[in-house]
Amino acid sequence: MLSPDGDGQSWEQQTLGHFALVSYIPDPLARFLDELRVELTPGSKPRAHVTILPPRPLHNELKDAIRQIVEESRSVLPFQVELGEIQVFEASHVVYLEIMRGANEMRELYGVLNRGPLEYKENFPYHPHITIAQNVSSGEAPRLAAIAEERWADYRGPRGFSVSLLSFVQHVAPSIWTDVAEVPIGIEVPVGG
């Protein structure tokens, strides 16, 4: 899929080297979501997560960005996320699971973190969700969403999880993100200089 800017670059090319802040989803929900994503988009290398800060370049030192995450996360209490229905973003054709509970907490966290060393203006307004399929055409999205709806209706495991640990990740190669730092929320963490 080409970037929404129309600059000819794919999303993968556009975000190489960028950083994001996520919270990984635990099993068995994560295993279900990863298997579904691979079924819908073979060749993808998923690790189920919710995104707090979408991919962005860093214009400051990495340690400054991590320090900001640690400092701002101290005052945030862990919170529960409950998942809703399968949806499709009209503009990007991304198939996703909506977040029914926990979206407000995610927006608040996004708001306090998307400034200073981490500030970035995304192509789309921040919308908490879990991606199920991306980089698909407008014609493929409804078909993939229908498959996802069927699998989600049949799933009998937990449909929620707790967000208590954040992972700062970097896009290091196509489809490969690596963990740079883990930050528990609501806990004092010493930051090295």
Domain boundaries, the chain: 11-184
Residue 145 one-letter amino acid: A
Closest CA to 23 of 133, 163, 130: 163
pLDDT of residue 148: 97
pLDDT of residue 191: 55
pLDDT, residue 123, reads: 86
Which tokens sit at 56?
């962005």
Structure tokens of 14? 């556009």
Name residue 169's beta-bridge partners: 20, 179
Q: How far is CA 10 from the centre of its chain?
A: 18
Residue 124: the pLDDT is 87
| CB-count exposure of residue 109 (10 Å: 0-12, 13-18, 19+) | buried
pLDDT for 173 equals 86
The whole-angstrom separation of Cα 54 and Cα 77 is 21
The top-level CATH class assigned to 11-184 is: alpha beta
* One pLDDT digit (tens) per residue for the chain, 193 residues: 333 333 434 445 567 789 999 999 999 999 999 999 999 999 888 999 999 999 999 988 899 999 999 999 988 899 999 999 999 999 899 999 999 999 999 999 999 999 988 999 988 899 999 999 998 999 999 999 999 999 999 999 999 999 999 999 999 888 789 999 999 998 755 555 5
Q: Would you state the structure tokens that stand for residue 74, as one six-digit string?
A: 């101290």
pLDDT value of residue 11: 45
pTM score, whole prediction = 0.86
Query: What is residue 192's predicted lDDT score, i.e. its pLDDT?
Result: 55
Q: What are phi and psi of 3, to 5 degrees?
A: -65, 155
Phi (first) and psi of residue 16, to 5 degrees: -60, 130
